[in-house]
Chain A
Amino acid sequence: GQQVMQIPQYQHVQEGEDFTTYCNSSTTLSNIQWYKQRPGGHPVFLIQLVKSGEVKKQKRLTFQFGEAKKNSSLHITATQTTDVGTYFCAGHGNNFNKFYFGSGTKLNVKP
């Protein structure tokens, strides 16, 4: 079945360093969404990418959707302690009733 994997599973960075998490799907996705889950909280929607090769930016966050619509990345420039949390990618398969979550990357930022 469809699988969405993320790497790395954990990332520890010093405040001010950059961070990137990668998301890969076994099959083509109709869209890619990114969520952030703070410790003890629930996943909160960050952004959605739809087009092949699409790139979107939110302040220090840059999101990219691969040309084949099977992979995506989230890059954070100059991390801050407020960036701590787990970042999940997710997407719909060709059947929009199927919504797949990535395995998540847990980011820890040391001040």
Chain B
Amino acid sequence: AAGVIQSPRHLIKEKRETATLKCYPIPRHDTVYWYQQGPGQDPQFLISFYEKMQSDKGSIPDRFSAQQFSDYHSELNMSSLELGDSALYFCASTRSGAVNTEAFFGQGTRLTVV
């Protein structure tokens, strides 16, 4: 079965550069969540989208922005990167309207800022 696809899997950027992370949800999933997981930490919710509209916002820095496109894939844009942005970024997708659906996670993008 198709899973949540994230690209790239690994990314190395220098400080003050920009990065774009992509997430392709499972077919027919209309809700995407982005999480940031620092070393040894639990996933921190960044932002979510439902039907191409932002549905909830967590601890996402102003330097980051995200959107969901018509094909339901989502992109997380990160500018003016800082060393502290180094983390594993997960996206997860669910199907809303189907009550109590589980979330499927991608394998994550490991971002290293040097």
In the complex, number of A-B residue pairs with CB atoms less than 8 Å apart:
54
Given known contacts A42-B106, A92-B100, A99 and B90 CB-to-CB distance under 8 angstroms: no
Given known contacts A43-B90, A97-B55, A98-B56, A103 and B104 CB-to-CB distance under 8 angstroms: no
Contact of B33 among A30, A99, A102, A103 (CB under 8 A): A99
Given contacts A50-B100, A98-B56, A99-B48, list 9 more A-B pairs with CB under 8 A. A33-B103, A35-B105, A42-B90, A42-B108, A43-B90, A98-B55, A100-B45, A101-B35, A102-B42
Contact A96 B99 (CB under 8 A): yes
Complex alpha-carbon distance, A90 and B45, angstroms: 12
Contact B103 A45 (CB under 8 A): yes
CB distance from B87 to the nearest CB of A (A): 13
Q: How many A residues are at the interface, by size bracket?
A: 20 to 34
Does B43 count as interface, using CB distance less than 8 angstroms? Answer: yes
CB distance from A58 to the nearest CB of B (A): 14
CB distance from A43 to the nearest CB of B (A): 5
Q: Write 9 A-B pairs (CB below 8 A) sorted by A numbering.
A: A33-B102, A41-B107, A42-B105, A48-B102, A88-B43, A97-B55, A99-B45, A99-B92, A101-B45
Does B94 count as interface, using CB distance less than 8 angstroms? Answer: yes
Which 5 pairs, one residue from A and one from B, show the smallest C-beta to C-beta distance? A97-B55, A104-B42, A31-B100, A42-B105, A45-B102
Q: How many B residues are at the interface, by size bracket?
A: 20 to 34
Q: For chain B, residues 46 to 73, give those with C-beta under 8 angstroms from any C-beta of chain A.
A: 48, 50, 55-56
Does B96 count as interface, using CB distance less than 8 angstroms? Answer: yes
User: Which residues of chain A come closer than 8 Å to B96, judged between CB atoms?
Assistant: 96-97
Does B31 count as interface, using CB distance less than 8 angstroms? Answer: yes
Complex alpha-carbon distance, A97 and B102, angstroms: 12
Q: For chain A, residues 57 to 111, give those with C-beta under 8 angstroms from any C-beta of chain B.
A: 86, 88, 90, 92, 96-104, 106
Most A Cβ at <10 Å: residue of B42, B55, B107 = B42
